[in-house]
Chains A and B, each alone.
Chain A
Amino acid sequence: MSKKILVVDDEAHILHVVSLKLRNAGFGVLTAADGEEALEVMNSDRPDLLITDYHMPVMNGVELCCRMRENDAIKDIPAIMLTARGYALEPEDMQRTGIRAVLSKPFSPRELLATVREIFGLAEAASPDEAVA
């Protein structure tokens, strides 16, 4: 069964391109335009990984991760944060929020995919990408 990933960004173009990259690699993709919507999606359809932008209306990426950690059902979901602010997280923050990696915008979809695979512990050779292809 393919892994499910939730992508959260208020920029439609970014949602679109990240979804496409992940889908092409054989992952299942869910999307949300803000934190509120992301929490709703996570509660109804638990993803295996969260990819979120930092700067968004309603709540920022770190706030979203903290809110997620308050809910037992979804608190263990690992997260990747994309940020256009050169935002650096302290190790304690990463621990506290469950954020595993921070990618700076402009980011490379290739790198993002590699990070996703790393988190899932998937070797390049055995990637779902190959399976689909």
Chain B
Amino acid sequence: MGTARRLILVLIVLIALASSTAYYATQMSLRDGAVRERVMGWLAVGLMSSVCALVLIVIWRSLGKTVQIVRHQLLTLEGSGEVGLIMVDSHDELGQMVQEFNRYLTRIKSRIEQLKLQKRELDIQIRVADAEKRHTEAIIFSISDAVLVTDSFDELVLANESAERTFGFTMSRMYRQPMARIINDSEFVKLVTDTRSENTERRRRVVEYSRQVAGEKRTFNVTLSGVMDAKGECNGVVAVLHDVTREKEVAAMKTDFVSNVSHELRTPLSSIKAYVEMLVDGEAEDETTRREFYDIIQNETDRLGRLIDNILNISRIESGVVKIHKEPLALTSVIKDALEVARPQAVAKRIQLVDELTPVFYQVLADRDMIYQAILNLLSNAIKYTPDGGRVTIRTVVDEGKKTVRTEIKDTGVGIPPEDMPRLFEKFYRVESSKKMAKGTGLGLSLVKHIVETVHAGEVGVFSKVGQGSTFYFQVKLAD
């Protein structure tokens, strides 16, 4: 039952009591003395009023207590920052109100829980997106190709380190700067802006593009793709620059190589064919001429064989299938053999072939055929690139401390330009300025390097000055 109803009930009872008392007192006052009855009446009224007041106070206090409990709980909840229910042990109107209030709170509480869950999901999504973004950036940054991304205003929004190097700028300073301000090449800027403005074309396109990077001309295959939004509008461009300079050089070198090898093979073959035909046709009349022809055929056949060996050895060493037979051998004797083979070549050009070999026959642990090949290639090169009447010197230097022997081949030849030095020992590489001086396959030095460094764990190198000559050397360990 509600407090208010109880209050009304109590009031009705009290009013009824007070009225009946007053009525009884009035009846009494008519029969007995007026004063006594009046006092009795007032006494009854006073009593009733006191009881009334008492009941009111009791009700008021009980109400105040419930409100107090509610207030206290609210304060505690506020302090805890939680949404909780209010516990009231009362079933009156206040209790009902609190219950309604609690139902409302429960709804809020579940809504808050729901929001919290959504927030956690969003947090996770943000973290995942963030990680993905960093991941994507890391991928872009680790790509050796230069990557540039622009927005719909042709402003730079992303560039990796390679792009910074290629175009010479710092991303942190150029973020959202117009492309035209960053890249001092209208051709490239136009490629990007055209890709964006062409808009309709979704297909990526690849164009060849060249520019100077660190003083060197580099050629790139540029892949340009428009970044399309949901409406099919182009709102940016991704440009990826793949450096193909080296690939192009290698391709050119290979073409050169095929042509060189074919030429080198055909030259001795021409002699063999011609001299054989002369013999068959009986054009060599006397025995001396015939003998001369036989010698030429034999020498040219050997030359052809050596050439094929050179080509095969390189590919064998590179693929690791070559059989290596190392034995202790006297380097000096190998050098002497190579000198004898190279001498006719030197004599033909009136080149003085000098040896300054150590008198002691130092032993090295080496594959005789290979070391011989390396020495012969170096001697043959020295003679080839030294003008007529020059001088080629071969000497050995022993380092007792390091237990190594160094073989040096010095010429008074044309020398090697500094820019060619780093690539001298590369397969197929030929010094441009010396191509006219002598023929070759670009294999000789590459083979020397393989023989000395790959097979014998030695070291090969060169000093050179254009117009003064070159000194090639290789160094191998002495045998124990």
A binding-site residues for B, Cβ under 8 Å = 11-14, 16-18, 20-21, 24, 55, 57-58, 82, 84-86, 105-110
Contacts and interface: CB of A to CB of B under 8 A. Distances in A.
Contacts, number: 65
A82 B267 CA distance: 11
A108 B453 CA distance: 43
Q: How large is the interface on B (under 10, 10 to 19, 20 to 34, 35 or more residues)?
A: 20 to 34
B262 A107 contact: no
Interface string B48-79: 00000000000000000000000000000000
Contacts of B439: 55, 57
Given A84-B270, A106-B270, A17 B262 contact: no
A82 B68 CA distance: 120
A20 B288 CA distance: 14
Contact of A57 (B274, B275, B278, B438): B438
Given A85-B259, A85-B263, A106 B437 contact: no
A57 B259 CA distance: 16
B274 A84 contact: no
B190 interface: no
A109 B270 contact: no
Given A17-B275, A55-B439, A110-B281, A85 B262 contact: yes
Given A55-B439, A57-B438, A110 B270 contact: no
30 contacts: A12-B348, A13-B274, A13-B296, A14-B270, A14-B271, A14-B274, A17-B274, A18-B274, A20-B278, A21-B274, A21-B278, A55-B263, A57-B437, A84-B262, A84-B267, A85-B259, A85-B262, A85-B263, A105-B267, A105-B269, A106-B270, A106-B272, A107-B270, A107-B273, A107-B274, A108-B274, A108-B277, A109-B277, A109-B278, A110-B277
Given A24-B283, A84-B267, A105-B269, 14 more contacts: A11-B267, A13-B271, A13-B275, A13-B296, A14-B274, A17-B271, A20-B278, A21-B283, A84-B266, A105-B266, A106-B266, A107-B270, A109-B277, A109-B278
A82 B271 CA distance: 13
A109 B348 contact: no
B140 to A, nearest CB: 47
Sorted nearest first, the 9 A-B pairs with minimum C-beta distance are: A84-B266, A106-B273, A106-B270, A105-B270, A13-B271, A17-B274, A84-B263, A106-B269, A105-B266
B436 interface: yes
B233 interface: no
A25 B271 CA distance: 19
Contacts of A58: 436
A14 B273 CA distance: 10
B300 interface: yes
Nearest to A16: B296
A58 B434 CA distance: 11
Interface of B: 259, 262-263, 266-267, 269-275, 277-278, 281, 283-284, 296, 300, 348, 436-439
Nearest to B293: A17
B297 to A, nearest CB: 9
A107 B296 CA distance: 16
A110 B439 CA distance: 27
Most buried by A among B273, B274, B296, B438: B274
Contacts of A107: 270, 273-274
A72 to B, nearest CB: 28
A86 B283 contact: no
B351 to A, nearest CB: 16
A32 to B, nearest CB: 15
Contacts of A14: 270-271, 274
Contacts of A12: 348
B273 A108 contact: yes
B264 to A, nearest CB: 8
A106 B277 CA distance: 11
A132 to B, nearest CB: 12
B326 to A, nearest CB: 37
A57 to B, nearest CB: 5
Contacts of A24: 283
Contacts of A84: 262-263, 266-267, 270
Nearest to A10: B439
Nearest to A107: B270
B116 to A, nearest CB: 81
Contacts of A16: 296
Contacts of A109: 274, 277-278, 281, 283
A57 B388 CA distance: 14
A12 B274 CA distance: 13
Contacts of B300: 13
Most buried by B among A57, A82, A106, A108: A106
A13 B277 CA distance: 14
Contact of A106 (B274, B278, B296): B274
Given A24-B283, A106-B272, A17 B278 contact: yes
Contacts of A55: 263, 439
Contacts of B278: 17, 20-21, 109
